[in-house]
Structure 1
Amino acid sequence: MSKREASKYKIDRRMGENIWGRPKSPVNRRQYGPGQHGQRRKGKMSDFGTQLRAKQKLKGYYGDISEKQFRKTYEEAARRRGDTSENLIGLLESRLDAIVYRAKFVATIFAARQFVNHGHVSVNGVRTNIGSYRCKQGDVIEVRQKSKQLTVLIEATQLAERDVPDYIEVDHSKMVATLQRVPGLSDVPYPVVMEPNLVVEFYSR
């Protein structure tokens, strides 16, 4: 499976933050953005700029999903009862690729999407190869039998840099994860501060 390190590190540098908490991120060495103008002194950001940045950071965190798909997720969050920003986080964390990443079956969210797309995962016993597939509480996500010896899988489960959150129950000996509940913002172990309320402001202008 190929790695998209250049892409994800470019996102880190554009944001000026190590948004996945990866030890090899270039932001750990230099805080400025990519390119020849990356070190220019930045002026005070406008409200629009702050909202746009919050949206790009959240969108980038989940594998830089397309604007069309991200907006559809926001619109569904807005239709649901309750706090739209909490609903947005719940919908993003219910994506199949996000659960595969959270369960530490793979090392990165980009690898999670590729892992799902290549047909290595089943949901409730049914092979599912769509990363944006929305899981529900109680759904059982399992690595298919023929894929359980893949090197990327074995390496990812041993990563010390992040833990499995408590809303996902995982048995790494069987490579099975269960979504115990749909989380809210305070439940999700983001390495940096995410501001879904600013994303809601951006789209509701």
Structure 2
Amino acid sequence: MTKRVESKYKINRRLGVNLWGRAKSPVAKRSYGPGQHGQRRKSKPTDFGVQLMAKQKMKGYYANIGEKQFRKYYEEAVRRKGDTSENLIELLERRLDAVIYRMKFALTPFAARQFVNHGHVTVNGKRLNIPSYSVKDGDLIEVKEKSKQLAVVLDAAQSAERDVPEYIEVDHRAMRGRFVRAPKLTDVPYPVQMEPNLVIEFYSR
């Protein structure tokens, strides 16, 4: 098990938020951080600390993306025209594993990444196993025929924990969907407040 996957059990408590809005979140049981020093009183965070927390929260939400890759998303967001914060959100939401999660073909972003890695997904009829693949407007995403009856897929599709956002169309009977358009920050159903503007400030220091 990699450190990135193993750490998912501590992310919520370290950040002090129910990052994915799940009923099983450890934050629901213990609001303090993990470890023997988790219950210490916290001092008021500095501007740097607030920006760092915003970055860690966003990285963690998308299955704890590696720092090098996350910084590349920031650099691409800066290069593009328009609002950099909105560009960053769009780039993250176009990730194939994020789209699989939004379509409710996986219960968590981590499960979505693994699902793609294991080759259970096709895009426009072509098998893809790259979680970071950038989905385009109108792309047809489908669960492979042999994978449509997997318990993990059926459980995720029937889960009432979250809804499919408006920028994505999905047919859970056929186990396929379409990425309709790029979302704005206000379109994305984050269970907690995300502050991409602070992430931009962090990297632009």
What's the TM-score bracket when you normalise by the shorter of the two chains? over 0.9
1:93 aligns with 2:86: no
Residue 23 of structure 2: aligned partner: 23
Give the partner amino acid of 1:151: A
Q: Is the 8 A contact 2:5 2:110 kept in 1?
A: no
The runs of 4+ residues in structure 1 deviating greater than 4 Å are none
Q: Is the 8 A contact 2:17 2:192 kept in 1?
A: yes
Deviation (angstroms), 1:6? 5.9
Residue 83 of structure 2: aligned partner: 83
Following the alignment from structure 2 to structure 1, what is the Cα–Cα distance between the partners of residues 8 and 163?
20
Give the partner amino acid of 1:143: V
Following the alignment from structure 1 to structure 2, what is the Cα–Cα distance between the partners of residues 5 and 157?
23
Give the partner amino acid of 1:171: D
Deviations 1:85-125 (A, max 9, x none): 00000000000000000000010000000000000000011
Unaligned runs of 5+ in 2: none
Residue 167 of structure 1: aligned partner: 167
* Number of equivalences: 202
CA RMSD after TM alignment? 1.1
Matches within 5 A, 1:1-205: 7-205=7-205
Give the partner amino acid of 1:162: R
Give the partner amino acid of 1:144: K
Following the alignment from structure 2 to structure 1, what is the Cα–Cα distance between the partners of residues 191 and 44?
24
Unaligned runs of 5+ in 1: none
Give the partner amino acid of 1:168: I
TM-score (norm 2): 0.97
Following the alignment from structure 2 to structure 1, what is the Cα–Cα distance between the partners of residues 75 and 126?
28
Deviation (angstroms), 1:7? 3.1
Following the alignment from structure 1 to structure 2, what is the Cα–Cα distance between the partners of residues 24 and 5?
17
Following the alignment from structure 2 to structure 1, what is the Cα–Cα distance between the partners of residues 5 and 68?
24
